[in-house]
Copies of this chain bind each other. A is one copy, B any other.
Amino acid sequence: MDATPYQDELVSLRRELHRHPEPAWCEYYTTARIVEELEALGVDELLVGPEALATDARQAVPDEATLAEWLERARETGADRTILDRLAGGHTGAIATVEGGDGPGPTVALRVDIDGLPRAESTDDEHAPVQGGFRSDHEGYMHACGHDAHAAIGIGVARALSEATFPGRAKVIFQPAEEQIGGGPAIAESGHLDDVDALLAVHVGLDHPTGEVVAGVDGFLAVSHLEATFHGEGAHAGGRPEQGRNAVQAMATAIQNLYGIARHSDGATRINAGDVAGGSAPNVIPDRAHVAGEVRGETTALMEYTRDRADQVISSAATMHDCEVEIEHGSEAPSAESDDLPRGYVSEAAQGNDRVETVLESDSLGGSEDAAFLMQRVQDRGGVAAYVGVGTDHPGGHHTATFDVDEPSILVGVEVLADALLGMANDEIDAESAT
């Protein structure tokens, strides 16, 4: 297909979303805008917010106050209030279904994610969103991983599918809360994947330039969130230092040793203490400290090795400084592999696409994704899945202040993914036997 006619609308949508990054489960404005677009397309079925989710399976949901604050922001920004009302309480995301109109056939699906990150965006004049006037309006938050482009690609694919005729049906899933590994389980367990024969997920960038497509990404790292709260005891830092039980000292000891957990000969591991705080005032021995971090592994076993060692480090650091500590393991994502069948369709679609210069059959992600939950669900039930990389020139790395998407790659994504989905539908793939 040719997505050229969609260009202006998709770029405009992407920029609008880029200006309004919302963190996990707070994608109120984002969801409302997506729903508006899907309603305008006239998709055959549209599940909004709680209808799309297994509510109880949501992970990493922020507290009520945070949710309420972002809902209010979305209202102030001008999102449709009727839609917002359906999303309240951290029920974001949507699923659109398009009937192919050409008789029975398989169910094919695309999953995109839509959340932003809690990090400040660059104010550098060289940064394209600054130049283009669409830098984040929400100071301290940013679309630093391209999910704004993913949402636009999802809308583009939904439109392409709506305009096509094919056997069976297609779904486009707009998943919330990827960055917190929060949304994957809620979609996976919603039941809406249970009839899916072939699932594609997509990510832009990943250090591939515009014009490059990876037909099936592998090498997902399993990941688990990790939170530790140290409880010590305050004391006057000048007058009675010995009466304190120093939670910040415990935390610092833990952090030093977390990064020092032994590497493993079975494969890659990762650890990060990404968000930390402690103490209350310069002249009070800190009575409390908190670390939010994560561990990863090339396999689930490697992730668990790192997580178990992390627990030991953290609890010993607390004991060392006479503190108590609560450790919570938050959301987890497994590792995943792309299947050959959908990989082949994507590869073929990419090779036949004029915007694409290079097609890689596979590449290693080296990161984690809660798309793994969705892929595993589909694969467990006999379907097939692939995680597709759509290259985009990005000046800064993922999750950095100068990350940006090269907008022409949005059309690459729409065309290649729509063609691959339609190819599978038209061939009436029988996933069960193909796996």
Contacts and interface: CB of A to CB of B under 8 A. Distances in A.
Interface of A: 117-120, 179-180, 206, 221, 223, 225-226, 233-244, 246, 248-249, 251-253, 255-257, 259-260, 262-266, 268-270, 272-287, 289, 292-294, 296, 305, 312-313, 316-317, 319-322, 365-368, 397-401
B397 A236 contact: yes
A292 B237 CA distance: 13
Contacts of A120: 280
Give 4 closest A-B pairs by Cβ, nearest first: A316-B320, A259-B260, A237-B272, A239-B367
Q: How many copies does the complex hold?
A: 4
Nearest to A223: B238
Given A223-B238, A283-B294, A294-B237, A276 B274 contact: no
Contacts of A366: 238-240, 265
A269 B267 CA distance: 10
Contact of A280 (B206, B259, B266, B275): B275
Contact of A119 (B238, B281, B319): B281
A176 B321 CA distance: 34
Contacts of A249: 255-257, 259-260, 273
A277 to B, nearest CB: 4
Contact of A319 (B286, B287, B294, B316): B316
Given A283-B272, A283-B294, A283-B399, A238 B252 contact: no
13 contacts: A117-B284, A223-B238, A226-B282, A239-B365, A241-B272, A248-B255, A248-B274, A253-B257, A274-B285, A277-B277, A277-B278, A281-B292, A312-B322
Nearest to A288: B120
Given A274-B282, A319-B319, A399-B234, A242 B265 contact: yes
Given A221-B238, A284-B119, A233 B400 contact: yes
